[in-house]
Structure 1
Amino acid sequence: MPLTLLLNGQNRTFDALSKSATIEQLVAELGLKTDRVAVEHNGEIAARARWHETPLSEGDRLEVVHFVGGGLDTGPVEGTLPVSL
């Protein structure tokens, strides 16, 4: 039986996830690398160490952020000050 979640503000139905799915299974279903993802589950940050045991329920609200590295350094943005460490 599919699971419908509110993911990043949009209702999404996951046919491959059962009603007993976990956050870990959702992240895998989305094809994301776990070391580059943060998940907010019903308004609270979900601890990565507990994804495997954190169950999802029909209608849960999730915000999933996938971090991407790299980019082109074009110098300081106008109106900002350079930072020295």
Structure 2
Amino acid sequence: MKILLNGNIFEAKNQGLASILINFGEHIAISINGSVIPKKAWQEVELKEGDKIEVIELVGGG
């Protein structure tokens, strides 16, 4: 199945959201099709063909 991950086409093999997030850092925020997904729900989210996922890495600074 193809999804859009941070603006790039990504081939997901029937993966849930949590398995894709392994490649990102620990401090991230997720949006799927314009809706923010709380961290406690990441394990339960099943992706669908054409989902648009934005992963935002949070960076500290001052």
Which residue of the other structure, out of 45, 52, 62, is the alignment partner of 1:54?
45
Matched residues, number = 62
**1:52: how far off?**
0.3
Point out the structure with max Rg over C-alpha.
Answer: 1
TM-score (norm 1): 0.62
**1:61: how far off?**
0.5
4+ long deviations beyond 6 Å: none
Q: How does 1:40-79 map to 2 (within 5 A)?
A: 40-70=31-61
Q: C-alpha separation between the residues in 2 aligned to 1:61 and 1:50?
A: 17
- Confirm whether residue 10 of structure 1 aligns to residue 8 of structure 2: yes
Q: C-alpha separation between the residues in 1 aligned to 2:37 and 2:20?
A: 13
Structure number with higher relative contact order (C-alpha < 8 Å, ≥ 6 residues apart): 2
Q: Secondary structure at the match of 1:49?
A: helix
**1:40: how far off?**
0.2
**1:25: how far off?**
0.9
Q: Which runs of 5+ in 2 are unaligned?
A: none
- Confirm whether residue 23 of structure 1 aligns to residue 17 of structure 2: yes
**1:26: how far off?**
1.0
**1:46: how far off?**
0.6
